[in-house]
Amino acid sequence: MTPEPVLSVERLVIEVARTGARVVDDVSLTVGPGEVLGLAGESGCGKTTLSLALLGYTRRGLAASSGRVRVGDRSLLEMGEEALEHERGSLVTYVPQDPASALNPALRVGTQLEEVISFHRRNEDRAGRRVLVTKVLEDVGLPTTRSLLESYPHQLSGGQQQRIAIAMAIVNRPRLIVMDEPTTGLDVTTQARVLQTIRDVCREHGGGVVYVTHDLAVVSSLAIRVAVMYAGRLAEVGPADQVLQRPAHPYVHGLLQAVPDIEGRRELTGIPGQAPDPGRRLEQCLFAPRCPLAVAECRQAIPPPVAVGEGHRAWCIRVAEQAGAPVAGPGVAPREVAADGSGALLAIDDLNAGYGSRPVLHGISLSIPTGASLALVGESGSGKTTLARCIAGLHTGYTGTISLAGAQLARAARARPAAAREAIQYVFQNPYSSLNPRRSIEESIAQPLHYTEEHPDRAEIDRRVGRALDSVSLSAAVRRRYPHELSGGQRQRVAIARALIVEPRLLVCDEVTSALDVSVQAVVIELLDELRRRRGLSMLFVTHNLALVHSVADEIAVIEEGRILERGPVERVLARPTSEATRALVANVPRLAPVASGAG
């Protein structure tokens, strides 16, 4: 006799009120007591909208047009605001994605925590509340001091803020906790700790948990069951170990191939194209345009759910061809460092950099051989971006030398000879600000050509822009468009095209995929790798994501607090790190491993 589900979502549809475009389309889910359901998907899939609906809440402009959400015995979407106020925070609670913005900056942390209790437990007096607060702070691993409770949110670290948010969500012993990517924005070490706290909480807590995330590796260590969404609809639902290791839906399969693997056992493969926006979603399989297994029938109707196993369903008519194929693939070939004996292309000697009086980098000495790719890995605040900027000539506050092919470079980019400026090209992290919104794609890519020594003519510029677009696999139709018409991944490729058009020798990539979805990230990484191999480009790949380095670099340098901890071939450093800090970093990276034995 299966116990009564804690959460039951029945054919939920959420639309944009004005246009009727569906953000969540006919989704049904259940969560049993003690169960952790991972709700996964990329940006735009509707998972956040769905997660808010589990509290009976829709954002401005959206409305639930049909379907039901039941938590325990309450049907939330049919309740009025006042009744919902009663249930939110006690029956079902929410842990937000960004605790820094989710905590009220004008109220003390203790007040915000205590009021959750006082709203829902009217019979508790002051002393009783204090006891509850103390207990819940212990549960989440925070000190129970008065000074903590009297702090304002901005006085706490990111990890502490998130623990407060978690405390607020568990103190009233809810039946359902909804967590929306609660560890995004935390550095890897803090993330690992907070995740552990979450695991403990899930285990102790008797109700259900819905854990929303885009990071499949995180989900695999936490969830018992997984539901994957795509473009507002469910793609696959089932036990975590089955879905994550033997996915039935081609999208889930493709997604898992795109997740970076720190063990380096699997080559990174992306999914070209992008998901349709709400309003452009037709009555067919929405993944078909990007699907390697698509046939004509896929475009004729929305695929019905197909049973793949016990409690395991996938919405795809080609499940039989796909089902069971393990997510693996050719392992990543070990790279030989392309040392061609011509010495280092870029050499940094004893660099000390800072901002005003604040020192950021200490005694950095590093070299990048010609044709080699070096990954510079560190947490935020480690100084890696500062180093990249110094190399590019964007930051001049440093001592020490940077030399290109033996010749020392001036600190400011403007002071360098044109040849040096062309030789080192920089690609920025944020695809939304690296292109001038007022220039067409064509103009942006051609921009550097107007300032090179050779001054190519109109026809030549045209040709080179065409070739640049080709090399990043963008069609010529993109030329006349403006940045706001392209997706993040496309913009990033335009930025790369712009960098390549002057035929640089060193490409500095500063967290270029951090703002992109996993599947798009993989596409860009593949592109960078291909370019590097074909053109013999040297690359400095700056990232905080250790798992990416196998796919993009020959060597890795780990940086922490402005110092290089170690450096060497990727294989060696990740498998046998010499420094303790590196070891800890490697250990803290979530892995797409067999699911941990969670609660129950």
Partner 1 sequence: MTTQPETAPATPRRSRGLWLDVLARTCRSRRGLVGLALVTPVVLIAVLGPFLAPKSPTAFVGLPYAGPSSEAWLGTDGIGRDVLSRVLWGGREILALAVLATVIGIVVGTALGTTAGYVKGALDEAIMRTLDVALAFPQIILALLLVSIIGPELWLVCLAVAAIHAPQVARVARAATLRTVEQDHVKYAEAFGIPRRRVILGEVVPNIISPVMVEAGLRLTYSIAIIASLSFLGFGLQPPSADWGLMVNENRIGIQQNPWPVVTPIVLIAILTVGVNMFSDAVARSALGIEAPIAPPSMSGSDDVLGGAEHVATEVPAS
Partner 2 sequence: MSSVPASQSEQRSDSRARWSDSIVLRTIVRRLLLGLLTLFLVSVVVFAATQLLPGDAARAVLGRDATPDRLAAFRREFHLNESWLQQYWSWLSNLLTGNPGTSIANGLPVWSGVEPRIVNSLYLLIVVALVGIPLSIALGVWAALRRDRLFDHATSTITLAAAALPEFVVAIALIILFATIVLQVLPPVSLVAPGTSVWSHPTVLVLPVATLTIAVVPYIYRMCRGAMIEVLESEYIEMARLKGTPRRVLLLRHALPNALAPTVQAIALTFAYLAGGVVVVEYIFGYPGIGQGLVNAVSARDLPTIQLIVLILAAFYVLVNIIADVVVILVTPKLRTSS
Task: Return the DSSP state at 330.
Answer: S
Residue 482 binding partner 2, by CB under 8 A? no
Residue 427 binding partner 2, by CB under 8 A? no
Task: Lay out the sheet containing 538-543: strands in order across.
Answer: 424-427, 506-510, 538-543, 373-377, 555-560, 563-569
Q: How far apart are the first and last CA of the chain?
A: 16
Enumerate residues 251-280 that contact partner 1 by CB under 8 A. 269-270, 272-274, 277
Residue 447 binding partner 1, by CB under 8 A? yes
Least distance (Å) between residue 206 CB and partner 2: 13
Q: Which does 426 bind (CB under 5 to 8 A by kind): partner 2, partner 1, none?
A: partner 1
Q: Rounded to whole angstroms, how far apart are CA atoms 439 and 447? A: 10
Q: Rounded to whole angstroms, how far apart are CA atoms 527 and 544? A: 19
Number of residues that bind partner 1 (CB under 8 A): 55
Kindly tell me which residue out of 168, 223, 368, 478 binds partner 1, with binding defined by CB under 8 A. Answer: 478
Kindly tell me which residue out of 25, 35, 87, 114 binds partner 2, with binding defined by CB under 8 A. Answer: 87
Would you say 235 and 308 are in contact if contact means Cβ atoms under 8 Å apart? Answer: no
Least distance (Å) between residue 266 CB and partner 1: 13
Residue 107 binding partner 2, by CB under 8 A? yes
Instruction: Compute the Cα dihedral for 185, 237, 166, 139 and give only its sign.
Output: negative
Count of CB atoms situated within 10 Å of the CB of 110: 18
Q: Rounded to whole angstroms, how far apart are CA atoms 393 and 409? A: 9
Residue 428 binding partner 1, by CB under 8 A? yes
Q: Which does 84 bind (CB under 5 to 8 A by kind): partner 2, partner 1, none?
A: partner 2
Residue 475 binding partner 1, by CB under 8 A? yes
CA 202 centroid distance within chain: 23
Kindly tell me which residue out of 129, 163, 266, 416 binds partner 1, with binding defined by CB under 8 A. Answer: 416
Smallest Cα–Cα separation from 515: which of 477, 543, 553? 543
Looking at the Cβ atoms of 139 and 267, the one nearer to partner 2 is 139
Residue 101 binding partner 1, by CB under 8 A? no
Enumerate residues 165-224 that contact partner 2 by CB under 8 A. 168, 190, 193, 196-197, 200-201, 204
Number of residues that bind partner 2 (CB under 8 A): 54
Tokens representing residue 93 in the block: 């609670």
Least distance (Å) between residue 155 CB and partner 2: 5
Task: Kindly indicate which of the ranges 94-102, 409-417, 422-430, 574-582 contains the residues binding partner 2, using the contact rule CB under 8 A.
Answer: 94-102
CA distances from 524 to 289, 462, 482 (A): 19, 24, 20
Question: What one-letter code names the amino acid at 402?
Answer: I
Least distance (Å) between residue 321 CB and partner 1: 16
Residue 284 binding partner 1, by CB under 8 A? no
Q: Rounded to whole angstroms, how far apart are CA atoms 222 and 595? A: 7
Count of CB atoms situated within 10 Å of the CB of 523: 24
Burial environment of residue 293 by CB neighbours within 10 A (0 to 12, 13 to 18, 19 or more): middle
Looking at the Cβ atoms of 41 and 89, the one nearer to partner 2 is 89
Q: Which does 392 bind (CB under 5 to 8 A by kind): partner 2, partner 1, none?
A: partner 1
Three-state SS at 254:
helix
Looking at the Cβ atoms of 175 and 498, the one nearer to partner 1 is 498
Residue 526 binding partner 1, by CB under 8 A? yes
Q: How many residues does the chain have?
A: 600
Radius of gyration of the chain from its Cα atoms, rounded to whole angstroms: 26
Residue 121 binding partner 2, by CB under 8 A? no
DSSP string, 19-62: T--EEEEEEEEEE-TT-EEEEE--TTSSHHHHHHHTTT---TTE
Residue 413 binding partner 1, by CB under 8 A? yes
Residue 379 binding partner 2, by CB under 8 A? no
Kindly tell me which residue out of 482, 503, 569, 598 binds partner 1, with binding defined by CB under 8 A. Answer: 482
Least distance (Å) between residue 212 CB and partner 2: 14
Enumerate residues 285-344 that contact partner 1 by CB under 8 A. 292
Residue 414 binding partner 1, by CB under 8 A? yes
Q: Rounded to whole angstroms, how far apart are CA atoms 408 and 431? A: 31
Q: Rounded to whole angstroms, how far apart are CA atoms 460 and 149? A: 66
Strand pairing report for 62-71 and 7-16:
antiparallel
Smallest Cα–Cα separation from 492: which of 433, 451, 446, 439? 433
Enumerate residues 136-155 that contact partner 2 by CB under 8 A. 138-143, 147-148, 150-152, 154-155
DSSP string, 113-158: HHHHHHHH-TT--HHHHHHHHHHHHHHTT----HHHHT--GGGS-H
Three-state SS at 367:
strand
Write out the residues near partner 1 by the rule CB under 8 A: 43-44, 48, 269-270, 272-274, 277, 292, 392-394, 413-414, 416, 418, 421, 426, 428-430, 432-438, 440, 444, 447-448, 451, 470, 473-475, 477-478, 480-482, 484-488, 490, 498, 515, 523, 526-527, 530
Write out the residues near partner 2 by the rule CB under 8 A: 52, 55, 57, 59-60, 81, 84-90, 93-94, 96, 98, 101-107, 115-116, 119-120, 138-143, 147-148, 150-152, 154-157, 159-160, 163, 168, 190, 193, 196-197, 200-201, 204
